[in-house]
Amino acid sequence: MSHQTKRLEHSVQGCDAQRKPHAVLDMASRRLKAMKIEQLLGLVDNHRPIRLLEVGTGSGGIAHYFGTLPDGRYSVDAVDIYDSRLVKDGYRYTQVEGTVLPFPDASFDVVLTNHVIEHVGERAAQLHHLEEVRRVLKQTGVAYLAVPNRWMLIEPHYRLAFLSWLPSKLRTPYLKWMDKGELYDCEPLQMKQLERMLDETGFKWKNLCLAAWRATLNIEHPDSFQARLVRQVPDFMLFPVKRIIPTLIYRMERG
């Protein structure tokens, strides 16, 4: 490991000591999320053996979903810096520190990083997270990334309006003032900011925000008025709202 990587890992570990896990422990939602990821990455009709890594597994629900599918084609690993798992079967788990992934280069067909990058630290740590995802991804593999949009109205971790809109130095004071916590420990991204980071780390990528919005409605709220309305609206009419969709979602491949 290089001196630069050691220094980065040390700094990220220092941040981790103050950061909360923020794991989503609603197992029903994890199953629906896994189904959406499976659909967006085109894995449903792919019947070859797949080695999959979930970075930041949280409750373990997504890793469990893939690892226990009846066709048995997924070999699943999962990592996290906190062990918040509610289900532990169907996959192998490794505790990690910082952003370094403990796997050889080109190990996985699929890598998932679902609402993780906003928790690893500031820009240097986020770039290293992406570099590690790319490093362990096979040349023919595909990765999935989701992150809260900085311009979402309600910040999802602390449920405060406009929290992530503020400059970084004002977020913790606002959090304290609203009696919601002592430290704002997330770094949500805006669309162009994230896309520049994906370019910098050598990914080929596709923005899936609109497709993911449609998939979420169809899977989670298929009979709702909003789902029926969105089914009727072509993408070009929804494009103006893409930048403010609450979650930024990308499909990535090695460049």
Rounded Cα distance between 96 and 94, Å, is 6
Rounded Cα distance between 18 and 36, Å, is 31
pLDDT along the chain (255 residues), means of 10: 38 48 74 91 90 96 96 95 94 95 98 96 96 98 95 91 94 94 92 96 92 72 67 65 79 93
Quick check: helix, strand or coil at residue 93?
A: strand
Residues 6+ apart with CB under 8 A from 24: 30, 58, 59, 61, 115
pLDDT for 16 equals: 47
Residues 6+ apart with CB under 8 A from 132: 99, 100, 101
pLDDT, tens digit (0-9, with 9 covering 90-100), for 134-156: 999 999 999 999 999 999 889 98
Continuous H helices in 141-201: 168-177, 191-200
pLDDT for 164 equals: 94
DSSP code of 168? H
pLDDT for 236 equals: 63
- Phi/psi at 40 (nearest 5 deg)? -65, -35
Rounded Cα distance between 170 and 154, Å, is 16
- Name the burial class of residue 51, with classes exposed (0-12), middle (13-18) and buried (19+) by CB atoms within 10 angstroms of its CB: middle
Tokens of 48: 């070859």
For the question of whether the overall pTM of this predicted structure is more than 0.75, the answer is: yes
